[in-house]
């Protein structure tokens, strides 16, 4: 999706301007026309650095717990029979209009009242609704199962939030220990190590390699502090810009899938979302090829999304779902067998749900394994840093003792 700036006129002649995200300028103009606007000018916004979200960040971000509560309450209200605009209106009335969450709910409510689809309204708030969530909502709109989709989205966000909080808790102490160790090494490099290095040079001996590395780093930072700050800033900003390039993001997603435990977790979590969405769409009477098309946006990984694109083409050519998936080599073999059995028995929807539950169980097991491994891995990294630091400090001492003896 690309950002576009536009100027347009409303049906009553008022001039408005704003921003919209779409694949092309034509798609953006069509979206605005669907909202009842007459486009006067539209152009792509080009940014060297992705700063367009900064104003919202300065005003405050919507908390993850608030997003989860939004989907849970919408699911309950829609299941009770309320129309979407009324459900959003009730939520808007119950929020603080000065908070980021209150402004978000009111903005969604206003868009829906103007006739905009909720998924399209969410697309205009990419900092609060990732593409996978927007894709789920779009699928729910097309299938008429928004209440079910909102409940699934709330469960998905809850699991992701729980995993992040667990990892934060597990890594809090190792990160603190790593920071304290790094500070100690920096202080000793600045104040202690030069004394030993000077002593060795007076004795006619060069400091050992680890010591020279630390001394060179310290001398460079002391002589060119602004250059160091500029280099670090450029590296950070360059990384942010590079990951926004689609081809590079695709390579990153492919690399993530190859990481031993993390890759399996990403794969099972993504397939759980995809298969559950397919089951919901099929239950609502959506054609299988169209369901696969809608499920592409919930994958959360560009490699899997592109694989589903090829699966969709295979279905349109008359292939079965299991056969099309087997050619991609992205779905685990056990799940391919489940889907093949479901198609043979004419009970694909039930097998899709069972496969989604299997993916959910596997992703939970892998997340628990990652959580248990996170702390030991951090401790090993700290041990390596300490070993290098101790080696850098003790080797000059031993060299000096050898020379003096």
Q: What is the pLDDT of residues 351-381, one digit of tens each?
A: 999 998 999 899 888 888 887 887 788 888 8
Looking at residue 317, its pLDDT comes to 92
The pTM assigned to this predicted structure is: 0.64
At a CB cut-off of 8 Å and minimum separation 6, what does 290 contact?
142, 281
CATH architecture observed for domain 2-46:
Roll (3.10)
Q: The dihedral of CA 100, 103, 109, 111: what is its sign?
A: negative
Judged by average pLDDT, the poorest of 6-20, 71-85, 363-377 is: 6-20
**Location of structure tokens 């946006």:** 297
Q: What is the pLDDT of residues 114-163, one digit of tens each?
A: 888 999 999 888 888 887 788 888 888 888 888 888 988 888 788 778 87
Pick the CATH number of 63-157 from 3.30.365.10, 1.50.10.10, 1.20.81.30, 3.40.190.10: 1.20.81.30
Looking at residue 164, its pLDDT comes to 74
Report d(CA 153, CA 170) in Å as an integer.
Answer: 26
Report d(CA 66, CA 64) in Å as an integer.
Answer: 5
* pLDDT above 90: residue 386: no
By CB atoms closer than 10 A (0-12, 13-18, 19+), residue 310 is: middle
Average pLDDT, whole number, for the chain?
Answer: 81
Looking at residue 400, its pLDDT comes to 67
> Which of 313, 307, 335, 311 lies closest to 323 in space, CA to CA?
311
The CATH 1.20.81.30 portion of the chain extends over: 63-157, 170-405
Looking at residue 93, its pLDDT comes to 87
CB atoms within 10 A of CB 275: 25
CATH of domain 170-405: 1.20.81.30
């Amino acid at each position: 999706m690309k950002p576009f700036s536009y100027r347009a006129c409303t049906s009553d002649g008022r001039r408005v301007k704003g921003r919209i995200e779409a694949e092309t300028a034509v798609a953006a103009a069509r979206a605005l026309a669907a909202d009842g606007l007459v486009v006067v000018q539209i152009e792509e916004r080009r940014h060297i650095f992705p700063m367009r979200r900064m104003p919202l960040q300065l005003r405050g971000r919507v908390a993850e717990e608030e997003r989860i509560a939004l989907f849970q309450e919408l699911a309950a209200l829609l299941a009770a029979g309320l129309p979407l605009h009324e459900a959003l209106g009730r939520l808007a009335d119950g929020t603080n209009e000065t908070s980021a969450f209150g402004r978000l709910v009111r903005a969604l409510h206003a868009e829906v009242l103007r006739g905009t689809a909720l998924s399209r309204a969410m697309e205009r708030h990419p900092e609060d609704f990732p593409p996978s969530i927007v894709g789920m909502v779009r699928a729910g709109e097309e299938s008429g199962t928004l209440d079910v989709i909102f409940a699934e989205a709330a469960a998905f966000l809850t699991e992701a939030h729980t995993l992040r909080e667990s990892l934060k808790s597990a890594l809090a102490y190792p990160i603190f220990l790593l920071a304290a160790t790094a500070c100690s090494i920096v202080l000793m490099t600045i104040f202690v190590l030069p004394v030993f290095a000077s002593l060795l040079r007076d004795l006619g001996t060069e400091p050992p390699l680890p010591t020279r590395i630390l001394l060179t780093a310290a001398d460079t930072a002391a002589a060119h502090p602004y250059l160091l700050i500029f280099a670090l800033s450029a590296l950070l900003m360059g990384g942010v810009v590079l990951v926004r390039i689609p081809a590079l993001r695709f390579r990153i997603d492919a690399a993530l899938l190859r990481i031993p435990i993390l890759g399996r977790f990403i794969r099972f979590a993504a397939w759980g979302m995809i298969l559950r969405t397919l089951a919901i769409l099929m239950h609502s009477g959506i054609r299988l090829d169209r369901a696969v098309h809608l499920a592409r946006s919930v994958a959360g990984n560009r490699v899997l999304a592109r694989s589903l694109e090829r699966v969709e083409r295979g279905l349109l050519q008359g292939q079965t779902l299991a056969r099309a998936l087997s050619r991609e080599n992205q779905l685990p073999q056990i799940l391919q067998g489940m889907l093949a059995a479901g198609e043979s028995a004419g009970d694909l929807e039930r097998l899709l749900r069972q496969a989604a539950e299997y993916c959910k169980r596997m992703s939970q097991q892998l997340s628990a394994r990652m959580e248990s491994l996170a702390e030991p891995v951090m401790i090993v990294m700290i041990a390596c840093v300490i070993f290098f630091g101790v080696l850098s400090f003790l080797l000059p001492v031993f060299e000096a003792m050898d020379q003096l003896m």
